[in-house]
Amino acid sequence: MEKKWNTRRGFLRRLAAAGAGGWALKAGVLAPAAALGETPAQRGLNVPVRYPNGRKLPWHWDNGVKVFHLVAEPVRQELIPGTVLDLWGYSGSAPGPMIEVNEGDRVRILFENHLPEPTAIHWHGLEIPNDMDGVPGITQPYIVPGGRFTYEFTLRQNGTYFYHSHMAMQEMLGMIGPFIIHPTVPYSPAVQHDFAIVLQEYAVLPGNSVPNTMSMEYNWLTMNGKSAPAITPLVVRLGDRVRVRLMNLGMDGHPIHLHGMQFWLTGTEGGRQPVSNWIRRNTVWVAVAQAWDCEFEANNPGTWMLHCHLPHHMMNNMASSVGPMTRGYGLPAGISMPAGMGMPSSGAALSPQYGPSMGRGMGISSQWETPEANGPQHGGAMAAMPGMGPSVARQRHPRPGQPYESPAPHQAAAGQMHGMQPPNAIAPNANQVPGFPQDAYMEGPQMNMDQAVASPETYGLPPGWSGFMGGMMVLVRVVDDALYQKIQGLRRQAGRKA
Which residues in this chain contact Cu ion in the complex, by CB under 5 A? 254, 308, 310, 313
From the CB of 314, what's the least distance to Cu ion, in Å?
8
What's the closest the beta carbon of residue 222 comes to Cu ion, in angstroms?
Answer: 10
Identify whether the C-beta of residue 83 lies closer than 8 Å to the C-beta of residue 135.
no
The smaller minimum CB distance to Cu ion, of residues 226 and 254, is found at 254
Nearer to Cu ion, 182 or 254 (CB): 254
CB 472 within 8 A of CB 199: yes
Is the Cβ–Cβ distance between 120 and 165 less than 8 Å?
Answer: yes
**Residues 6+ away with beta carbon under 8 Å from 224:** 51, 52, 53, 54, 95, 196, 197, 198, 231
Nearest CA to 388 out of 348, 441, 351, 335 is that of 441
The b-or-e profile of 418-453 (16+ CB within 10 A means b, else e) is eebbeeeebeeeebeeeebbeebbbebbebbbbeeb
The CA radius of gyration of the chain, in Å to the nearest whole number, is 25
Contact between 108 and 62 under an 8 Å Cβ cutoff? The reply is yes
Q: Identify which of residues 318 and 426 has a Cβ nearer to Cu ion in the complex.
A: 318
- Shortest spacing between CB 30 and Cu ion, in angstroms: 31
227 vs 448 by CB, closer to Cu ion? 227
State in angstroms the smallest separation of the CB of 229 from Cu ion.
Answer: 17
In the DSSP assignment, the letter for residue 19 is: I
Distances (CA, A) of 137 to 8, 123, 166, 184: 41, 16, 10, 35
DSSP assignment of 254-298 equals EEEEESSS-EEEEEETTEEPPGGG-EEESEEEE-TT-EEEEEEE-
Give whichever of 20 and 308 is closer to Cu ion, judged by the CB atom: 308
Cα distance between residue 333 and residue 336, in whole Å:
9
Q: How many CA atoms lie within 13 A of 332 on its CB side?
A: 17
Of the pair 314, 420, the CB lying nearest Cu ion is at: 314
Q: Which residue, 128 or 476, is less far from Cu ion as judged by CB?
A: 476
Nearest-angstrom CA–CA distance, 334 and 113: 37
Cβ atoms of residues 217 and 360 within 8 Å: yes
Residue 471 CB, nearest distance to Cu ion (Å)?
7
d(CA 90, CA 115): 10
Q: Smaller CB distance to Cu ion: residue 140 or 212?
A: 212
**Shortest Å distance, C-beta 469 to Cu ion:** 14
Nearer to Cu ion among residue 241 and residue 254 (C-beta): 254
Considering only CA atoms, which of 127, 128, 134, 132 is closest in space to residue 113?
Answer: 134
From the CB of 361, what's the least distance to Cu ion, in Å? 19
Give the nearer residue to Cu ion in terms of CB position, either 190 or 315: 315
**Shortest CB 221 distance to Cu ion, Å:** 6
Q: Which residues contact 421 (CB under 8 A, 6 or more apart)?
A: 385, 440, 444, 446
Phi/psi at 41 (5° precision): -60, -40
Q: What is the DSSP string of 335-387?
A: --HHHHTT---SS-TTSTTTGGGTTTSSSTHHHH--S-----SSHHHHHHSTT
Q: Which is nearer to Cu ion, 56 or 254 (CB)?
A: 254
Minimum CB separation from Cu ion for residue 401, in Å? 38
The minimum distance between CB 309 and Cu ion, in angstroms, equals 7
Q: How far is the CB of 257 from Cu ion (least distance, A)?
A: 10
